[in-house]
Structure 1
């Protein structure tokens, strides 16, 4: 009899565990327009539409939520969420998150300055070492920039959790440059420029093109879900559905995303 009781307890334990980690899967993203952001109608954006379409193709139930970036990293580490996107690769993150084997969305990091600024960027970070540079907390902008920050190549790095704060600081002169996504910063500026005194411009060339991914917590065994997502995403790219989603968003954003500053 005791053995039967123990066996029953073990069965219940594993059954409960299995139910806890099955669909609907809890997927989180963060506020990063135009890729992912929340409106009155819910969470939307370029990457959001791709993720929704891929999971629909997979016929897997999910719940999509938005979290602040740093909180999302903590949640995926603890296993409070199953998936998180769009995340750039960093070696230390592999200890607690499992990356999909296909790129979800390439991101391009660029420097932004006031339109009247004479600062130039010529691929070498040494030319910017004396300036105050703003960046998002716990954010990666590609391996080359990250290594320069880690090696203290820049004199002053100022970190904030929101790009809105960095734009304000750029306009007030608290920082000389900010680094951010080339579409995301201009998209945000177009919607907030009335509150800013000065126009901004994007420096060329870009800093780095960096792939971003869907990641899965390592607190649970989600390898099958990871592989299924990878396969479906690759098929979306192969048959053109991925590009059609991007093309549709480019039309929506055409009047808002420009190379330099609003007229």
Structure 2
């Protein structure tokens, strides 16, 4: 039997096994707009819609659940969930989870400033003496997080950070580029807030599943179909819909520290 036929057969058995028990693949995630979020009762987002399309092509039924991220990880560890959407790769989780070779998307941490008080910084040195709004539980790399040149001030939400920015209580804020653009549009802040050229860090996001019978082959099939879908016009349209224009800026040179969210928000 050829390797391809073995792969297809094993994946089919996995899908049939779920179907035979009336089960769906249980995927958990935390809202992270515009990658995945609840829009008045309807799930949307770049990574959510991409994953739905890929699983539909593979013939896999999925049950989705929104939970706080810490709860998502606990459900994976306890075997109450089969996978998690938009999780960063961590070698500490390799014993529990399988990651496709193809990522769903790439988080790009950038800085935003109020147009009335412009700070179009391009290097960390230009943050000297300033205050940057952050999100609790997020790590942006040791060089940024441990620098003594500027102050970091957390806020309970992205919306709160943008509010503080407009009030002049912080000089800039750091968040993912797409997330920032989504909040700006949602709050009607176009023309009031701009993105600085500096890119603090880039980090890939994945759909990861618990290790189990047939799951390694399902992950391979998912990666292959995801890579195929990304070459299609439908994916380009989806990416553009959720802010797919990539910035031309190169990231600030930082040490290779994994950017993870931790504690209650650890991705």
| TM-score higher than 0.5 | yes
Where does structure 1 lack aligned partners over 5 or more consecutive residues?
1-17, 255-263
Report the counterpart of residue 88 of structure 1 in structure 2: 88
CA gap of 1:167–1:102, structure 2 versus 1, over 3 A, is same
CA drift of 1:166 comes to 1.8
Distance 1:65 1:181 in 2: 23
CA gap of 1:213–1:153, structure 2 versus 1, over 3 A, is farther
Report if the CA contact (8 A) 2:107-2:202 is conserved: yes
Distance 1:161 1:100 in 2: 32
Report the counterpart of residue 8 of structure 2 in structure 1: none
Distance 2:116 2:171 in 1: 11
Report if the CA contact (8 A) 1:148-1:154 is conserved: no
CA gap of 1:239–1:115, structure 2 versus 1, over 3 A, is closer
CA drift of 1:52 comes to 0.4
CA drift of 1:152 comes to 4.3
User: Equivalent residues in 2 for 1:133-212 (5 A)?
Assistant: 133-140=132-139, 145-149=140-144, 151-153=146-148, 155-193=150-188, 199-212=192-205
Deviations 1:80-119 (A, max 9, x none): 3222222233444546543221011123221011112242
Distance 2:44 2:238 in 1: 12
Report the counterpart of residue 32 of structure 1 in structure 2: 32
- The question of 1:246 aligning with 2:250 is answered no
CA gap of 1:68–1:199, structure 2 versus 1, over 3 A, is farther
Report if the CA contact (8 A) 2:136-2:155 is conserved: yes
Distance 1:125 1:96 in 2: 37
Report if the CA contact (8 A) 1:70-1:138 is conserved: no
SS at the partner of 2:129? coil
Q: CA RMSD in A?
A: 3.2
Deviations 1:45-85 (A, max 9, x none): 12211010001011111111222344434443444322222
Distance 1:96 1:138 in 2: 22
Report the counterpart of residue 126 of structure 2 in structure 1: 127
Distance 1:172 1:96 in 2: 45
CA gap of 1:34–1:59, structure 2 versus 1, over 3 A, is same
Task: Flag the structure with larger Rg.
Answer: 1
Distance 2:97 2:154 in 1: 24
CA gap of 1:228–1:236, structure 2 versus 1, over 3 A, is same
Structure holding more helix per residue: 1
Distance 1:146 1:174 in 2: 24
Report if the CA contact (8 A) 1:77-1:97 is conserved: no
